[in-house]
Amino acid sequence: MTAAVDIYPVVWKLHTLGYSLIPSGGGDTGKAPRVPWARYQDQQPTDTELHTWQDSLRPKLWGIVTGKVVVFDCDTAEAAKLFEAAGLKPHVRTPRGGSHFYFASPGFPVKTVAGLLPGVDSRGNGGFVNVVGSNGPGAYVLEIMPTPDNLYAWDQLPLAAAEALKAKPKATAEAAEPVGGLIPETRRNHTLLSLAGTMRKRGMTQAAIEAALLETNRQQCRPPLTEDEVRKVAASGSRYTPDATAFCCGNVALPGVEQAWDQWLYTRDNNSPPDASFDTERNKSATESAKKAASSEKSATKAPPLIKRVSEWTRDQKGWFSYVDMDRELGIRSDSEKSNRRLIMSRLRVAGEIEQHPKDSRLFRHVDTAVRPIDFKRAGSRTPLDLRWPFGIERMFKCYPGNVIVIAGAPDAGKTAFLLNFVYKNMRDFAIFYQSSEMGETELASRLELFDGTGLEEWTFTAEERSSDFPDVIRPEAVNIIDFLEVSGEFYIVGEWIRQIHEKLRGGIAIIALQKNPGASLGRGGSFGLEKPRLYLNMDAGKVAVRKCKNWVNPEKNPNGLELDFKLMAGCRFTTTRDWHHPEAGQ
């Protein structure tokens, strides 16, 4: 399969999101559009145009016309630190180690500027940026799909980039001199300190200031200062109090919030108000500002309401949540409250009480450190469940209460037949709940009638329709069969869903069917789905393979890697044509 065929589903997904996708890979650099694209700045290519380009050009690289989305292109890892210091993660990694950060349009034209900052270009109105595929130097890796929910808000843009955009007189696609030109030796410290003070006043964190100064020093100072000297300048400039009315970016506090946070942590962890010695000189100097930042935070002997509300709200959440969810439920509306909320969340993250989503920096979840003790000394006889499986799997795998089993199968490989055969073999001895995302009652009845000698009234399991949120309906003490766990986009979340299902189990088990591509070694979710299952099987047409097996029946016979060949007859009967064997050994 060619690279062009591989990437076209991603191209089509981006097209359905409303982007203007253009075939790329032309020009001397291998990064230029291969078709005239000016008119697509104002209109999206049609479905037919996209398919025609794919069929006629077979492009290995595609790009997006910017404007509706604004992309900041960082050529180097050093340049990307300005954005990463603000808590942002790149949507795309470029072949030469660069990064692309995608922002939602702010509602006004944004300039396309080469050399906006040292190592940073902006791609706004009239711009074009490659997004997926490869050229000579390598691949453009799409790490975060730029769906509307995954675009960064304009108020998350690092201040240095926002200020540079304001300073540019017009959009340009030509290379530009670094902002401010070269900085001579006699002006290095003064200029960098002035920049640091300006950035701090406008609300930038010390980490963001340091990243910006290091890049400015590298690109513009002649000769450059040492990195230690630049960090000292950044630390010195960061001592100033941010202007609470200025543009706010990143985790920036309004005056007095740090005092309120310390007060809240002290009260929460000690279950009592602090004594007089807690009110240090720093806290005394911040008292009036704290009153202005939040009028309800006047008392030094009780937890400030916003901090308490945010902390307790996060603990009550199950799964991932966003600032939008929090602001809506807690009634956070004003700019000052949102700035305070952002700092509180930053402190909770540092304290390990919340974590940020690995792919979407707008999402968070509460870190639940509660554990369920495993009293192995009272485990009893440790007898595995007396389950019977298709293909005699019980000969090599011992299934215990609480186990998760995954069946990853290509389309029409026999996943459902496998699961129904399991039901047929065990329904008289175990309570079985079969969750189907595809079959209604008529189709299921037709499948069950294929089993010879068993009328519909003799099937004693419970069948239910379900296509999502499977952890909510897991029966902890029963056999739970999920046919199948649907995954359409963010495959990495498969591991999280399986983990949630596993946590609901006690004396029961869960058998989960996943879709996989023909010939692939793993199902949707890849290695993310391997952690919790004790048995992971791959099914292709006429073949089943053991991808992972724990709890071996014979400790000296490792079943991992074994394969079995079969025929599926009449939609329900498996006939083994070659028993379990190691394919490389031919036996």
The residues, any chain, with a CB within 8 Å of residue 422's CB and separated by 6 or more, are 387, 388, 389, 390, 481, 511
**Spatial distance between the Cα atoms of 479 and 423, rounded to a whole number of angstroms:** 9
Q: What is the pLDDT of residues 372-419, one digit of tens each?
A: 676 666 655 568 999 999 999 999 999 999 999 999 999 999 999 999
Q: What is the pLDDT of residue 130?
A: 95
Q: What is the pLDDT of residue 462?
A: 94
Name the DSSP letter for residue 72.
E
For residues 204 and 143, membership in a common domain is answered with: no
pLDDT for residue 422 is more than 60: yes
**Do 565 and 433 share a structural domain?**
yes
Round to whole Å and give the CA distance between 318 and 417: 35
At residue 203, does pLDDT exceed 70? Answer: no
Q: Are residues 214 and 299 in the same domain?
A: no
Question: What does the DSSP assignment read for 355-412?
Answer: EE-SS-TTEEEE---------GGG-TT-PPP----GGGGGGTB---TT-EEEEEE-TT
Supply the pLDDT for residue 301. 39
Give the pLDDT score at 532: 92
Q: Please tell me whether residues 33 and 156 are part of one structural domain.
A: yes
Residue 176 clears pLDDT 50, i.e. is over it? no
Confidence of residue 300 (pLDDT cuts 50, 70, 90): very low
> Domain for residue 13, yes or no?
yes
Dig out the tokens for 129 from the structure: 């940026």
Q: Is the pLDDT of residue 578 over 80?
A: yes
| CATH number for 279 | 1.10.10
Q: Is the pTM of this model over 0.85?
A: no
Mean pLDDT of 422-426: 96
Q: Kindly state the average pLDDT of the residues 423-437.
A: 94
Q: Say yes or no: 218 and 280 in one domain.
A: no
Q: Where is mean pLDDT largest: 64-68, 112-116, 315-319?
A: 64-68
Q: How many alpha carbons lie under 13 Å from residue 246 in its C-beta half-sphere? A: 19
Which residue, 317, 322, 286, is CA-closest to 304?
Answer: 286
Q: Does residue 5 register a pLDDT over 70?
A: no
User: In the chain, helix, strand, coil percent, each to 5?
Assistant: 35, 20, 45
Regarding whether 419 and 495 lie in a shared domain, the answer is yes
**315 and 437 inside one domain:** no
Q: Is the pLDDT of residue 89 over 80?
A: yes
Domain boundary among 323, 338, 366: 366
Amino acid 286: pLDDT: 37
Residue range(s) defining the domain that contains residue 77: 3-167
pLDDT at 194 over 80: no
Binned at pLDDT 50, 70 and 90, residue 131 comes out as: very high
- For residue 562, the domain's CATH number is 3.40.50.300
Domain stops at, among 342, 366, 390: 366
- pLDDT of residue 234 exceeding 70, the answer is yes
Percent of the chain with pLDDT over 70: 80
Other Cβ atoms less than 10 A from the Cβ of 142: the count is 18
Query: What integer pLDDT is reported at residue 492 of this predicted model?
Result: 65
Asked, for residue 71, whether it belongs to a domain, the answer is: yes
Q: Residues 298-307: what's their mean pLDDT? A: 52
* Distance in angstroms (rounded) separating the CA atoms of residues 346 and 362: 12
pLDDT digit string, tens, across residues 488-525: 656 667 888 899 899 999 889 999 999 988 888 888 88
In a domain, 242, yes or no: no
Distance CA 492, CA 529 (A): 8
73 shares its domain with 206: no
User: What local confidence, expressed as pLDDT, does residue 55 receive?
Assistant: 82
Pair 160, 203 in one domain: no
Q: What is the model's pLDDT at position 36? A: 82
Examine the pLDDT at 29 and tell me if it is beyond 90: no
Q: What confidence category does residue 277 fall into, taking pLDDT thresholds of 50, 70 and 90? A: very low
Kindly state whether residues 483 and 507 are assigned to the same domain. yes
With respect to residue 586, please indicate whether it lies within any of the assigned structural domains: no
Q: Does 542 reside within a domain?
A: yes
Position 585 scores a pLDDT of 55
pLDDT at 401: 93
Among 305, 336, 366, identify where a domain stops.
366
Looking at the fold, whether 417 and 533 belong to one and the same domain comes out as yes
DSSP output for 518-587? TT-SS-TTGGGGSSS-SEEEEEETTEEEEEEE-SBSSTT---TT-EEEEEEETTTEEEEEEEEE-TTTT-
DSSP-derived secondary structure letter, 44:
P
Q: Of 52-61, 180-189, 290-299, 347-356, give the lowest mean pLDDT range.
A: 290-299
pLDDT at residue 256, as a whole number: 45
The distance in angstroms from the start CA to the end CA of the chain is 31
The yes-or-no verdict on residue 4 having pLDDT over 60 is no
Position 251 pLDDT exceeds 50: no
Number of domains in the chain: 4
